[in-house]
Chain A
Amino acid sequence: MVEPGGAGQGGDDKAYLWRLHRIFALYVVGVAAFLILMAWAEQQGLSRHWIGPIFLFLTVMVYAGIGVYGRTTDPEEYYVAGRRIPPVYNGMAAAADWMSAASFISLSGALYLQGFSGTRGQAGGLAYLLGWTGGFCLVAMLIAPHLRAMGLYTVPDFFHVRFGGRWPRIIAALAAVLCSFTYVVAQIYGVGLIASRLTGVQFEIGIMLGLGGVLLCSFLGGMRAITWTQVAQYVVLLLAFLIPVSWLAYKQLGNPLAPLVYGTQLGKIADLEERLLDSPAEHQVVVAYLRRAQDYEARLKDVEGALEREREKARERVRTLRDQNADVGLIVSASRELVALPRDAVSARERWTREMRENYERARPLGGLPLHSQAYAGNPDGSPHERQEYELTRRNFLALMFCLMVGTAGLPHLLTRYYTSPTVAAARSSVAWSLFFIALLYLSAPALAVLVKFEVMQNLVGSSFDTLPSWMAQWARVDASLLSVEDVNGDGLVQFGEIRLGADLIMLATPELGGLPYVVSGLVAAGGLAAALSTADGLLLTISNALVRDLYYRGAPREASPEQRVILTKFTLLSVALAAAFVAALKPAEILPLVSASFSLAASAFVPVMVLGIFWRGTTRQGAVAGMLAGLGVAVYYMLSHVAAMRAWVGWLLADGLWFGIQPISAGVFGVPAGLIVAAVVSRITRPAPALPVVRSEM
């Protein structure tokens, strides 16, 4: 999938385009043939232990092959793929670049867990869907064509060319590194999750395996190789999403076109939810969790004493088991419990507080999940408390949507994708194609959430614990926070409140949940991997370009040939990737919160100044610097204010409580206006004498 050396004009263009179409069609046929072959092999008795690794290995090899084939040290090719990617393929590559592990792995899960809007404490649900598509309207109209018209290489380049001087560029480069790094950590976490489940290796080794794939593509070929691997990855991830959704829809509704028909399941889920709310067994589960939570609360009143009592109890158990000459396994597990107790009062307090909160969370009807199709929690006509609940949920929903939309328009790795199109008009249609290719998947994501929820409520709930499918145990082994099922009320049947699924799990487990062949599981994992890798590629390239091109070389005039610069960029990329892998191995947070945070950062740092710079001639360099610092500063400050560790450190400095009830994840709501106002005011103050206007009607 690599283009000929130099595309000429006219007839050559057409030949080039046809060549691309032909290669693309061949690739799609190849992927389909491979799938059919694997399905056949499974029927012939190919072991499950082989299917997962074959999928992972082969897809990564294909991406790497494209990366090697597209290798380059030519700067024009390395930074912007020679600026001759046709809009359709550019759109596909942008879609793959855009749809990260968060979209592919977590979006359906979030829709499953949060329903329409999430809760006031954790907004989400359809806000993700709207935010990640609506932002493209801003990209198409306000930013991408204008940046393309300037003939730039990176996003900080814009600040350099538009405002001149050092500081706008340096701040932009640092902000690009900050938000891209947060984002890339989430991707690599996703890679580790998939690789460790499918091959059974440790999480950390899974990360390293996936990292190899990322590096092979981006390390060798830069933007050119990445573009074509992303096109290849898009095909895999689209198939991997649509096949299980269509299959489930066909199974439940007799029609594979899930987005068109899942409306009827919404009604059925509402009925099932009502039945679950009335079910006595569910009430027992709620009471059991409540008791646990109260137990933790009691312990927290006297941490030292409770810890001593717990230790004594565990020791006592080990002793009695030894005295009875009980089974060795029992003794070992009892002593392991003793060891697993918190070491000191501080960690005990921390852990028990968390457990208490979790249990209170689960001690609510439907396991704490909101009603699936109800817009916003609470009730606008209810008691004052309910009214406030409603108001806050809606406000947080809108705030999150705003941050994601504006963040879309500011994320450097997406914007550089439109630098690769041949003309300004092509940049515009590239955005349209990206949105189209993204929508193909996003329109099915809510359908998947609904179908899976129906499957769980209808078939899993009420089944016996003895007949639980084996995949549940396997996932629980990867990470207990992803999936836990426990017979809390002791009746031997699964209740809805007893199942806890993590947002990152639901998509990956869908094929097994729906009883699909194992090949589909392999495909879904390969799709998740493709989504994470494609985004990680783009992000790593952005980070290393910002560090080397915008900070190192522009910082001081240095003697270096373009090839040397490219080589230095490659090695920076390697070290950034390793650093990101190291952070991801610490499992800092779930995928979605990390990603949302980087959107808020990008929104506040870039968008206000970029839009002002493009549309208002009066923006000055000082205004730009002040605006970026103010936007970024407010967003970072508000986010850090609510990190527990920071509170303990410099609590007196930080914002007390929430501003207008907005959660820290949507810090961009404050960062964007702050950046806009500060940039405008400072520009106004430092305005130079007016220059003669030049009218140009392009764009």
Chain B
Amino acid sequence: MQPLKKIHEPELAGPFPPDMHDVRHLWLKGGLLLAWALVSFVAAYFARDLQAFVVAGWPLGHWIAAQGAVLMFIAIVVVYCWAMNRFERQDAARMAALTIERAPSHG
């Protein structure tokens, strides 16, 4: 997680209706939401069946609902932060490269 870092983005109060969302961001969100649904709703739906498996003294269904899912949620949010920061860095680098390429033609 990155510490306090001022990125000089405009404090925009619009323009709205919203901008188009980057397709990569949407795929990332979609994938992570799928993982979220699997670990919460699907796992809870089959909790009774999972309860039969006992791993290291824990009935699996209970463990997932009490701890595993929460740890998974944290992982999902952290992955999202990391990936988004990475996308933003890539975009910034690409923008920088574009301006450098363009600069000589102007000068």
A binds B: yes
- Residues A429 and B2 in contact in the complex (CB < 8 Å), given A130-B65, A263-B56: yes
Grouping DSSP codes into helix (H, G, I), strand (E, B) and loop, the A interface class, with mixed when no group exceeds half, is helix
Pick the contact of B7: A134, A423, A614 (CB < 8 A). Answer: A423
Tell me whether A116 and B6 are in contact (CB under 8 A).
no
A374 to chain B: which residues have CB within 8 Å?
51
- Residues A425 and B7 in contact in the complex (CB < 8 Å), given A141-B32, A162-B17, A263-B57: yes
A259 to chain B: which residues have CB within 8 Å?
67
CB within 8 Å of B: which of A397-428?
A: 397-398, 401-402, 405, 422-426, 428
Q: Does B18 contact A (CB under 8 A)?
A: yes
Mask, A321-348, CB within 8 Å of B = 1, is 0000000000000000000000000000
A9 to B51, CA, bound (A): 53
Q: Does A442 contact B (CB under 8 A)?
A: yes
B40 to chain A: which residues have CB within 8 Å?
130, 134, 401, 405
Tell me whether B62 and A150 are in contact (CB under 8 A).
no
A36 to B4, CA, bound (A): 34
B48 to chain A: which residues have CB within 8 Å?
375-376, 380, 390, 394
Tell me whether B77 and A431 are in contact (CB under 8 A).
yes
Tell me whether A129 and B78 are in contact (CB under 8 A).
no
A136 to B70, CA, bound (A): 10
CB within 8 Å of A: which of B18-74?
A: 18-22, 25, 29, 32-33, 36, 40-41, 44-45, 47-48, 50-51, 56-59, 61-63, 65-67, 69-71, 73-74
B44 to chain A: which residues have CB within 8 Å?
127, 130, 394, 397-398, 401
Among A127, A142, A266, A613, which residue has the most Cβ atoms of chain B within 10 A? A266
Tell me whether B69 and A425 are in contact (CB under 8 A).
no
Pick the contact of B4: A13, A263, A405, A693 (CB < 8 A). Answer: A13
Interface size class, chain A: 35 or more
- CB closest chain-A residue, reference B69: A130
In the complex, how many angstroms separate the beta carbon of B89 from the nearest chain A beta carbon?
10
A267 to chain B: which residues have CB within 8 Å?
57
Pick the contact of A133: B1, B57, B73 (CB < 8 A). Answer: B73
CB within 8 Å of A: which of B64-104?
A: 65-67, 69-71, 73-74, 76-78, 80-81, 84-85, 87-88, 91
Q: Does B5 contact A (CB under 8 A)?
A: yes
- CB closest chain-B residue, reference A87: B1
Tell me whether A425 and B47 are in contact (CB under 8 A).
no
- Residues A436 and B74 in contact in the complex (CB < 8 Å), given A375-B62, A425-B88: yes
Tell me whether A613 and B4 are in contact (CB under 8 A).
no
Pick the contact of A695: B7, B19, B29, B76 (CB < 8 A). Answer: B19
Tell me whether B3 and A435 are in contact (CB under 8 A).
no
- CB closest chain-B residue, reference A447: B66
A162 to B14, CA, bound (A): 8
A431 to B77, CA, bound (A): 8
Task: Show 29 residue pairs from A and B whose CB-CB distance is below 8 angstroms, ordered by the A residue.
Answer: A87-B1, A116-B47, A116-B62, A117-B47, A126-B66, A130-B69, A141-B80, A142-B29, A150-B13, A151-B13, A161-B16, A162-B17, A162-B18, A267-B57, A397-B44, A401-B41, A402-B41, A424-B7, A426-B5, A428-B80, A428-B81, A428-B84, A429-B2, A432-B1, A432-B74, A435-B77, A436-B74, A617-B20, A694-B19
